[in-house]
Amino acid sequence: MTALSALKVLVVEDEALVSMLVEDMLTDLGCTIVGPAAEIEEALKLATTADIDAALLDVNLGGRPIFPVADALKARGVPFAFASGYGEAGLTEDHKGATVLQKPFREADLRRVLESLVGQTA
């Protein structure tokens, strides 16, 4: 129904309730969920090996920054967006300018971000 149908999206989110919400939204958008990963190690493994089209990354995983995962995705050329309560302020210099979804966000916001991410690579 949209360009997002069958899009495989890696979800990295360490809070159960938020993660469930994102899953529901992605399911509604017709995407396939990879993960969700709540820990850096698992997220890194999926980011480097899993078959994914895009990723949505929580900036802070239980006090540990997500940036190694972002770097791995960048290296693979997988587009990603940060989902964060910190907004742009929580990003390191390397990632300033990256797409950020400010929590809380609506399904429409997620759709727009994903479309722009996929558009970048298309």
Partner 1 sequence: MVKLAETDIREDGEAVLRARLARLEGVLADEVRKSETLARVTEAVASSNDIDTCVQVVIDGAREISGAAFGAFFYNQLEPDGESYALYRLSGAAPEAFASFPKVRKTEVFAPTFENTAVVRSDDITLDPRYGRNAPRKGMPEGHLPVRSYLAIPVATRQGEVLGGLFFGHPEAGRFSPRDETLLVGLGAQVAATIESIKLNTDSRAELNHRRKAEERLKFALDSGRMGSWDLDVATKAYEASDLCKANYGRRPDESFTFADLVATIHPEDRPRILAAIETAIRDGAEYDVEYRVVHPTGELRWLHARGRAAQTADDGGVRRLAGVSLDITERKRAEERQKLLVNELNHRVKNSLATAQSIAAQTLRSVAAPEYFRDAFETRLIALSQTHDLLTRESWAGASLREVFDVELHAMAGEDRVSFDYAGDVRLNPKAAVALGMGIHELATNAVKYGALSTPDGRVAVEWSQQDGVLRLAWTESGGPPVTPPARRGFGVRLLERGLAAELSGGVELTYDATGLVCQMALPLRALEP
Residues in the site for partner 1, rule: CB under 8 A?
14-21, 24, 36, 38-39, 60, 62, 84-87, 89-90, 102-105
Indicate the residue among 90 and 98 with the shorter CB distance to partner 1. Answer: 90
Question: Which token pair is 70?
Answer: 């972002």
CB 75 to partner 1: min, Å: 25
CB 61 to partner 1: min, Å: 10
Indicate the residue among 16 and 75 with the shorter CB distance to partner 1. Answer: 16
3-state secondary structure of 78: coil
Indicate the residue among 18 and 98 with the shorter CB distance to partner 1. Answer: 18
82 alpha carbon, distance to own chain's centre: 6
Question: Which one, of 65, 64, 46, lies nearest residue 54 by Cα?
Answer: 46
CB 87 to partner 1: min, Å: 8
Which parts of 13-90 are beta strand (E)? 32-37, 54-58, 60-61, 64-65, 80-84
